[in-house]
Structure 1
Amino acid sequence: MTHATFYIIDEKHIEADNDYLLHFACHQAAMSYRQGSKVYLLAESKVQAEQIDEYLWQQEPDNFVPHNLIGEGPRGGAPVEVGWPGLRHSGHRGVLINLSHEAPNFAVTFSQVVDFVPCDEKLKQQARERYKAYRLAGIQLQTAAAPETP
């Protein structure tokens, strides 16, 4: 059974760090990797995927996370694979981190889904739609407050 956690992003996070959501998603990917999970990080666009890739490359050597954009890297992908809508991930991954505006129809193939509820009203409504889509797909749902610092 797939479980999903929606992290509620408070306005104070965005005020403190304009790229908080991206950094938090990368932190979640790193945590999952260190716990032995293979991760698919679904960006909202190719541009955002490239930003995530760059952010992950800039980490200190002790915090390095083996990753690649879809279509790059080793056959079957690195432990953390970064993609965007319209592409197919390499499969056999346990964690999906969703930054896209829609619920991917393949979410049920993961054991864990991480999603976000931004403070912007339009984006919050899109999160509600993803929540409904996951629920209709039979995914177990929970919400949690995003931590102060990722």
Structure 2
Amino acid sequence: MALATFYLLDESDTQPQQSMLDKVCQLSALYSQQGMKVYISANDKPQAEKVDEQLWQLSPDQFVPHNLVGEGPRGGAQVEIGWAGVRPSGHRNVLINLAEEAATFAPSFAQVVDFVPCEEALKQQARERYKIYRMAGRQMRTLAMNEMSDTSSN
């Protein structure tokens, strides 16, 4: 069954956006090591570039092959980063959604990872994404930011 995992940003975190980027990099590395292809859907191109830069900051032993949509090898690297208005360049196993809206192409992914921000308006948008994924028949799971999902069984 298709899975959607929502990570709850910690309200006591003084840098929730940075914590979210750290989790995106951690998950990207984990999924990549398991041979899965990942698509990160950023809210806009500047955010996509920020994710790209954050992935370059990982230590060499944690390197994650990645590229922005339209760059890199044909079909994209193991991890591809896009934004509103662009789509992944080939089949991907996992969607990590950073956008405020649910990706219209989410049904083609076996797994979706999303985040629940602390700000009320953004939290409401996350609730709407949650409903969309649930209505699409996905198995739903909610975790704290410091928890790690068991990706090996998915």
CA contact (8 A) 1:2 1:109 kept: no
Moved segments of 4+, more than 6 Å? none
Residue number in structure 1 paired with 2:56: 57
2:47 and 2:18 map into 1 onto residues whose CA distance is: 11
Q: Is the 8 A contact 2:10 2:16 kept in 1?
A: no
What one-letter code is carried by the residue in structure 2 that aligns with 1:7? Y
Give the match for residue 72 of structure 1: 71
Q: Secondary structure at the match of 2:12?
A: helix
Gaps of 5+ in 2: 149-154
Under a length normalisation based on structure 2, what TM-score does the superposition of the two structures give? 0.90
Cα shift at 1:17: 5.8
Distance 1:17 1:6, change over 3 A: closer
Label 1:101 to 1:28 Cα distance change in 2 as closer, same or farther (>3 A): same
Which residue pairs with 1:33 in the alignment? Answer: 32
Matched letter for residue 6 of structure 1: F
- The runs of 5 or more residues in structure 1 that have no matched partner are none
How well do the aligned residues superpose, as a CA RMSD in angstroms? 1.6
Trace 1:36-47 onto structure 2 (pairs within 5 A): 36-47=35-46
SS at match of 1:96: strand
- Measured after TM superposition, the shift of residue 125 of structure 1 is 0.4
TM-score, normalization by structure 1:
0.92
Match of 1:3 in 2: 3
Shift of 1:148: 7.2
With over 3 angstroms needed to count, the CA separation of the structure-2 counterparts of 1:145 and 1:47, relative to structure 1, is: same
Between 1:125-134 and 1:23-32, the stretch displaced more is 23-32
* 1:90 matches 2:83: no
User: For 1:6 and 1:60, how far apart are their aligned partners in 2?
Assistant: 26
Figure out how many residues of one structure are paired with residues of the other and give that number: 148
Sequence identity, in percent? Answer: 59
